[in-house]
Structure 1
Amino acid sequence: MSDAELTVEVTGRVATVVIRNPGRRNAMTAAMWRQLPVLLDGLEADPTVHALVLTGADGTFCAGADLGDLDELLDAGDASIAVVAEERLAAFPKPTVAAIEGACVGGGCQLAVACDLRIAAADARFGVPPARLGLVYPAPTTRRLARLVGPSAAKHLLFTSELIDAERALRVGLVDEVLPADGLAARVEAITEAVAQRSRLTVAAAKEIIDGRVDDARIAWWHGQVRASGEAREGVAAANERRPPRFSWAPPGRP
């Protein structure tokens, strides 16, 4: 039996998905790519989960995709199981944070970029290696990378396949913060706990709008949720009374 798997732990209001593939620097196997959307479906439906952390086991985020079945990968193109998993992660309606140590390469970088935030340890290394392999990086993945770091930095990563360190990743916008390795877990916990305390309505609407997944009708629906939920009244009252707000809105699903 393979010991390559994704594991999930829920602590308080935060779920942590851990990439595990001992001996392969947590490379994503075909089974793991297929497993991720299923896990995300369950976590989306869990009302106790307000935020998600994606990380790797034993000091390594993910060294890429396991290319053992190359023919399947080549035949699928942009419909590959890796792209399906990436798109599901990007569309996950709750805030997502990639906590990155060690290698974050290829498929690992693909997953990290699909998260909302990326917090890296100082030892993290990033790379996008398809030019070393003669592969075409999927179009959705390439566009998402370019939106994040800009065309020039995306071209550098894709054209050269060079690894870059965490400080350079921070400069080009690939990651949001860089910390000593021993401070990473505490910082990720602080961020996710802060997010979990905020209005879920505000956060969910902001994520959809920033990601460009709304039309005028959806925006009007969000404003209607503000009026119907009393969320803004509670927030203002809490500020005036100098107390933590008691937000209660929960996602009802798309109308």
Structure 2
Amino acid sequence: MFRYVSDGPFGRLIIDRPRQRNAVPVEGWGELAAATVAAEMAAPCALIVQSAAEGAFCAGADLGHLATLGQDVGGRTAFRLAMRGAIDALAALPFPVIAAVDGGCFGAGVALMLACDVAVAGEGARFAVPPARLGIAYPQEDIDRLAARVGRGQAGLMLLGMETIDAAEAARIGLVERAVPVALAEAERLAAAMAEGAPSSFATLKRMIAGVGPGVDTDALFDASFGSADFPEGIAAYRERRKPEFRR
């Protein structure tokens, strides 16, 4: 249900399970991980995560599978690890990742969106994180990403209040960066603009935006950026008043 497609300077990670409104079965997380590997190997300037299902970005985890976990203790761990590995791999890609959310984005779909660097929502987008309606919790790493995006208060309101919000409200609280008429068109515009940036800068900036972690020296990352192969080309292009031609 997940596949990677190259499209000129950028790539597309397509979610395609329309009959289930892109609900993700347990094996779907493995497909996401594989598509992420394909994207990393292709090394596009930017990656757009988009849906092939009209009216749905991602309905979350497949409830048919979730229902089996009540009695399957081992399956719970396998599900959590599969979801965690795939989402973290998406977040770790060294180039910009843009979520184009047109339609419903719920539960694990929000976790998928939060792994992207930028999220834009179309006018028909809807968002909710309602695990409490099912009597379950939400992965800690995804709660952390949600709180980092919207703040602890709004994260608590989404998780505990269980309300569905529209694109305008999502933009107001910072869940998405922009609310636009058509998300995919805006995502493509952003990806085209990002194609002019230096790959080494994107990789470093993403690590710095993610914050300080174990073994990460952000001062050293900044200092090292001046030694990148892209820096001389960037300076030369500025002086010559032309667009830089970075190595891809």
Distance 1:105 1:152 in 2: 19
User: So what's the TM-score if we normalise by structure 2?
Assistant: 0.89
SS in 1 for 2:13: strand
Alignment of 1:24-43 (within 5 A): 24-43=20-39
Q: TM-score, normalised by structure 1?
A: 0.87
Give secondary structure in 2 for the equivalent of 1:45.
helix
Specify the SS of the correspondent of 1:97: strand
CA contact (8 A) 2:105 2:127 kept: yes
Instruction: Provide the residue aligned with 1:51 in structure 2.
Output: 46
Amino acid at match of 2:121: A
Match of 1:208 in 2: 207
Q: Distance in 2 between matches of 1:216 and 1:75?
A: 31
Q: Counterparts of 2:195 and 2:241 in 1: how far apart (Å)?
A: 19
Indicate if the aligned counterparts of 1:113 and 1:145 stay in contact, CA closer than 8 A: yes
Counterpart of 2:111?
110
Q: Percent identity?
A: 36
Deviation per residue, 1:218-245 (Å, 9 max, x gap): 753563353252x223222212221111
| Map 1:26-175 → 2, pairs under 5 A | 26-47=22-43, 49-57=44-52, 58-70=54-66, 71=69, 75-76=76-77, 79-175=80-176
Counterpart Cα distance in 2 of 1:218 and 1:42:
28
Segments of 4+ in structure 1 off by > 6 A? none
Helix, strand or coil at the partner of 1:227 = coil
Q: Which amino acid aligns with 1:16?
A: R
The answer to whether the Cα contact below 8 Å between 1:77 and 1:138 also exists between their aligned partners in 2 is no
Q: Is the 8 A contact 2:50 2:184 kept in 1?
A: no
* CA deviations over 1:187-238 (Å, ceiling 9, x no partner): 2111111112111111111000110266465753563353252x22322221
SS in 2 for 1:205: helix
Q: Measured at CA, do residues 213 and 18 of structure 1 come closer, stay the same or move farther in structure 2, by a change above 3 Å? A: farther
SS of the residue corresponding to residue 233 of structure 1 reads helix
Q: Distance in 2 between matches of 1:130 and 1:221?
A: 38
Contiguous gaps of at least 5 residues in structure 2: none
Aligned length: 241
